[in-house]
Amino acid sequence: MQLTSDERAALDGRDGPAAALAMRVVSETARMMGAERLVSVESAHIDGCLYHGDSGTLFAERLVEGGGRTSVPATLNVGALDLLHAGRVKLDTRKAAMARRMMDAYVALGCQPTWTCAPYQAGHRPRTGAHVAWGESNAVAFCNSVLGARTERYGDFLDICAAIAARAPDYGLHRDANRHATLLVQCGGLDPRLLAEDALYPVLGAWLGRVAGGRVAAFAGLPRDTSEDRLKALGAAAASSGAIGLFHVVGVTPEAPDIATVFGGAPPAETITLTGAMLRESYDRLSTTSGAKLDAIAIGSPHLSLDEVRRLLTLLEGRRSRLPFYACTGRHTLSALEREGLLGALGDANITLVADTCVVVAPILPNIAGATLLTNSGKFAHYTRPNTGYDVVFGSLSDVAESAAAGRLVRDMSLWR
């Protein structure tokens, strides 16, 4: 691997200890991955600001002490605390203090305190073709797939080092050849009513993650007006159930105007024709129990958009939740809800807003043995049981609204039969 003279100077300490450390981490990672060079990046999204232990806090503080500063715009993923709602997170005093030190350190490094897993909803939308360094699996999938920017799946420590160095390893999804699809998924035979159902997209993503692993897939036959919220749900479920960093939807996403282009002129290595039975199996696998008793509801992984909150309120039709109901979203959406005068309606519906974090990465849910959570999020469905101990039931947003009002599980399974 070859470094430019400017990169070598930074590695040798020209810009201070933190910049040298950052360049060393990035360049050594590139060497291990077999990259021949580094690529300049235009922005970063930092996943390393979520407290998992003291080492992460101490690493960020070391960068601050070494004069570290981001060289490109960098947004911050969720932290372990809800800084807007005191007492929402039930961390012990010491862990809460370390989590706050970590969040403060990343802001001191020049990162924007967005505290969201959906930075693309908060205005961080790199141009198509731009090289960036993003962490957070759903954000990576959305950035590559829906925006057409280029990033690999950057994890803790490497993400902030790339932001400081303004460089990333030139490998994987940064390279043209690796962005072509090899798997074609035919969706044209599915019931049009199912294609119009919001719950299809996390189910489809969960199916893709298990089947494709890390391969790049292209979907053919999905509606051309598929919304960003549905693509967000698809990518999030695919990235949590598998290693998906990029998918294409023919006629929808920017690198897939047609099948020939998305496959680079080559025939697909594999073609799978989706059936209702395949999707029903994927739908069922998102739940760990089938009981009607519910103890809580949680939505917003990735963080809820303004449109998703509006739709929830429409579905509730002024009714109040009879269950603990947690809606996770970002500060940008909270500000929009406040401008539209909708915060009161959420309070009237007995919905607890969670900002800056979410219920599967921070201790927010009530501590109830043998409890069950209802969600419409494929990502929540994947992480709820291992991270919280709750069993999980998956349903649509309409199911969520009806179950909240009834105080028990209500699911319309007609389309899935």
Looking at 196-253, list the stretches that DSSP marks H as alpha helix, in order from N- to C-terminal side. Answer: 200-212, 228-241
**The pair of three-digit structure tokens given for residue 41, joined into one six-digit string:** 């990046």
**The pair of three-digit structure tokens given for residue 376, joined into one six-digit string:** 């419409």
**The pair of three-digit structure tokens given for residue 312, joined into one six-digit string:** 């929830």
Cα–Cα distance for residue pair 358/383, rounded to 1 Å: 11
Angle in degrees, CA 315, 321, 324, rounded to 5: 130
**The pair of three-digit structure tokens given for residue 46, joined into one six-digit string:** 């930092």
Residues 6+ apart with CB under 8 A from 204: 219, 234, 237, 274, 279, 282
Q: Which of 340, 317, 341, 310 has the alpha carbon at shortest distance from 327?
A: 310
Partner residues linked to 39 by β-bridges: 168
**The pair of three-digit structure tokens given for residue 102, joined into one six-digit string:** 């970590």
Question: Is beta strand 217-220 parallel, antiparallel or unpaired with respect to 247-249?
Answer: parallel
Partner residues linked to 394 by β-bridges: 375
Q: What is the pLDDT of residues 71-126, one digit of tens each?
A: 999 999 999 999 999 999 999 999 999 999 999 999 999 999 999 999 999 999 99
Can you state the percent helix, strand and coil of the chain, rounding each to 5? 40, 15, 45
Cα–Cα distance for residue pair 401/396, rounded to 1 Å: 9
Number of alpha carbons in the 13 Å side-chain half-sphere of residue 351 = 27
> 41 near 133, Cβ under 8 Å?
yes
**Spans of the chain, pLDDT less than 70:** none
Cα–Cα distance for residue pair 119/151, rounded to 1 Å: 14
Q: What are the φ and ψ backbone dihedral angles of 46, each rounded to 5 degrees?
A: -100, 115
For residue 417, what pLDDT is reported? 84
Residues 6+ apart with CB under 8 A from 222: 187, 195, 249, 250, 252
Partner residues linked to 373 by β-bridges: 296, 392
Cα–Cα distance for residue pair 2/221, rounded to 1 Å: 44
Cα–Cα distance for residue pair 302/234, rounded to 1 Å: 11
Q: What are the φ and ψ backbone dihedral angles of 167, each rounded to 5 degrees?
A: -140, 155
For residue 109, what pLDDT is reported? 98
131: three-class secondary structure by DSSP: strand
For residue 13, what pLDDT is reported? 98
> 161 near 68, Cβ under 8 Å?
no
For residue 363, what pLDDT is reported? 97
Tell me, rounded to whole angstroms, the distance of Cα 407 from its chain centroid. Answer: 29
For residue 291, what pLDDT is reported? 79
Residues 6+ apart with CB under 8 A from 365: 296, 298, 324, 326, 359, 371, 373, 388, 390
> 184 near 45, Cβ under 8 Å?
no
